[in-house]
Amino acid sequence: MGWLADETGLEKCAANYVPLTPLSFLSRAAEVFPNREAVVYGDRRSTYRQYIDRVTRLASALAAMGVKPGDVVATLLPNVPAQVEAHFGVPACGAVLNTINIRLDANTVSYILDHGGAKVLLCDPQFIPLAVAAIEDMEGEPPIVIEVADDAAGVHDFGDYPEYEDILAAADPDFAWIMPQDEWESISLNYTSGTTGRPKGVVYHHRGAYLNAMGQVISWRITLYPKYLTIVPLFHCNGWCHTWMMPVVGGTVICCRDISAKAIFDAIADEGVTHFGGAPIVLNMIVNARAEDRRDMPHTVEVFTAGAPPAPVTLARIEQLGFNITHVYGLTEVYGPATECTWQTEWDPLEGDARAAVKARQGVAMPFMEPVRVWDDTHIPVPMDGQAQGEIVFRGNGVMKGYLKNPRATREAFKGGYFHSGDLAIQHPDSYLQIADRAKDIIISGGENVSSVEVEGILMCHPDVLLCAVVAKPDEKWGEVPCAFVELKDGHSVEADALIAFARERLAGFKCPKQVVFTELPKTSTGKIQKFELRTIAKTL
């Protein structure tokens, strides 16, 4: 190994070794960018100096409530400033941040509070009834509840619990942050959405959060002073770690409680938003915005999209509006996105479908990750031929520590020295990934694999279709057949037969949906279509 023959006196010491942590970014920003706006929410605007003061007070208040290093602090919050502040304030007292999905049912929230063992819960008044029901259901010690009122949004505190601003006002502004001694210490706990069984608690460390933040600045081609809009919920992979990233470049986080096309266009025009992340459904919302909700675009806005490949037709239309879309891919277990469809200059001349086709690929490893691989069942990489399918596996410093109190699941997920994503993909000859489907989303019809993504991409090209999802429907003859659930645009209509015929002109017969159901599609809080619900419905058709 690379040790010199004599390394006397070359050991780690206070001067040359500092555990990696996103807390360093905020300390530095307080000195380098003290007067720049750090967090904006309507009329509430904090500079970096004010931001660090609020973070310090939060850390102090939590410590004063008895939160010890390694304890868990949970939140049930939309994308309001308190949720942003918790990303630094909770680790600054040595605690571990557990942002809970606000769309979950009380029973699941109860499970998470018990399993994670949260000592404190920061809660928006809108979710106090959910929190109360969840706490009633708990087996263990309930957390101390702190209400985070949002008067400007008309969400006032119940008054039954201490209020966030009161607690901050009473806290010690000179509290010394408890910095990690080891960069492997835990910084956050994110429960997977868990479509089957109980959610699993994914643990992130300070090192990963730091490296992910540095790497995403590079991936996103961010220079100084971005304006970042919080569309990705901060309870989803810590908002893909973007809150940790902003202080590196003196960026401003623009909070957005409720996502709508109007809110997005207004934030771009009024606050100068330059960057945001979002599921394809957000792109769809923008493309289909009503005329009165649109605003002129003062500059190109960079958008990272993940969750599903953006439909070619959506991609083409949103780019005409002045958004540059980068497709990224990841999972909770890899801190959100870990691959990106890095742009190659030889693609510059591509237009229309050809451009959409390259942008629909999940791409290559981000800078902080090792090269991504696609493995067959025996852990051998499949050929990079654009044909052979296998499972996407990840390795690198942006992979979770593991699942909390579930070493069996952790071992299983890490078998062979890579994290197993459960997603099926091909690798093109240029090494770019393209997801065929989630393993469970593949439809096997007459022994042939049908990619639901491919069928959906075709249906999305139909002028009357707003959204669609294709799942397997049990079939006596073929085993499974594709069944399409379709949401039409406002005021549009089309017959099921016409849609099936549209597909048949563009797809092999066995890939065409055999049945079409017109309905509003069930979605998760992050805009992902909940295919498991549709599969349940398809079984009854």
> Which residues within the stretch 232-271 sit at the binding site for a second copy (CB under 8 A)?
248-249
Give the span between the Cα atoms of 492 and 274, in whole angstroms: 33
Sign of CA dihedral 372, 472, 232, 130: negative
Q: How far is the CB of 39 from a second copy (least distance, A)?
A: 18
The helix-helix angle for 81-89 and 48-64 (nearest 10°) equals: 70
Give the span between the Cα atoms of 218 and 212, in whole angstroms: 10
Q: 495-526 burial, b for 16+ CB within 10 Å, e for fewer?
A: eeeebbebbeeebeebbbbbebbbeebebbeb
3 binds a second copy (CB under 8 A): yes
218 binds a second copy (CB under 8 A): yes
Residues 497-536 that bind a second copy (CB under 8 A): none
Give the span between the Cα atoms of 292 and 283, in whole angstroms: 17
Question: Residue 327's beta-bridge partner residues?
Answer: 305
Which CB sits closer to a second copy, 78 or 117? Answer: 117
In single-letter form, the type of residue at position 468 comes to: C
**Of 365, 392, 453, 516, which lies in the binding site for a second copy, with binding defined by CB under 8 A?**
365
Which CB sits closer to a second copy, 74 or 96? Answer: 96
Contact 63, 93 (CB under 8 A): yes
Question: Residue 145's beta-bridge partner residues?
Answer: 121
Q: How far is the CB of 116 from a second copy (least distance, A)?
A: 9
Window 315-344: contact mask with a second copy (x via CB under 8 A): ---------------------------xx-
Which of 474, 465, 480 has the alpha carbon at shortest distance from 511? 480
48 binds a second copy (CB under 8 A): no
12 binds a second copy (CB under 8 A): yes
Residue 175 DSSP code:
P
Window 64-103: contact mask with a second copy (x via CB under 8 A): -----xxxx------------------x--xxx-------
Which CB sits closer to a second copy, 367 or 522? Answer: 367
Q: Which residue stretch of 144-152, 173-181, 354-362, 466-474 sits at the interface with a second copy (rule: CB under 8 A)?
A: 173-181
Q: How far is the CB of 438 from a second copy (least distance, A)?
A: 20
404 binds a second copy (CB under 8 A): yes
Q: Which residue stretch of 162-170, 352-360, 402-410, 509-517 sits at the interface with a second copy (rule: CB under 8 A)?
A: 402-410
Residues 178-207 that bind a second copy (CB under 8 A): 178, 180-182, 184-187, 189, 203, 206
**Of 159, 197, 223, 258, which lies in the binding site for a second copy, with binding defined by CB under 8 A?**
223
**Of 9, 154, 197, 509, which lies in the binding site for a second copy, with binding defined by CB under 8 A?**
9
**Of 395, 462, 511, 535, which lies in the binding site for a second copy, with binding defined by CB under 8 A?**
395
489 binds a second copy (CB under 8 A): no
In 135-214, DSSP assigns E strands to 144-147, 186-191, 201-205
Residues 6+ positions from 189 with CB-CB distance below 8 Å: 72, 96, 97, 98, 116, 201, 202, 203, 204, 404
Give the span between the Cα atoms of 64 and 52, in whole angstroms: 18
Q: How far is the CB of 106 from a second copy (least distance, A)?
A: 24
Residue 27 DSSP code:
H
Contact 169, 84 (CB under 8 A): no
Residue 370 DSSP code:
P
Residues 405-464 that bind a second copy (CB under 8 A): 405-408, 410-411, 413-414, 417-419, 430-431
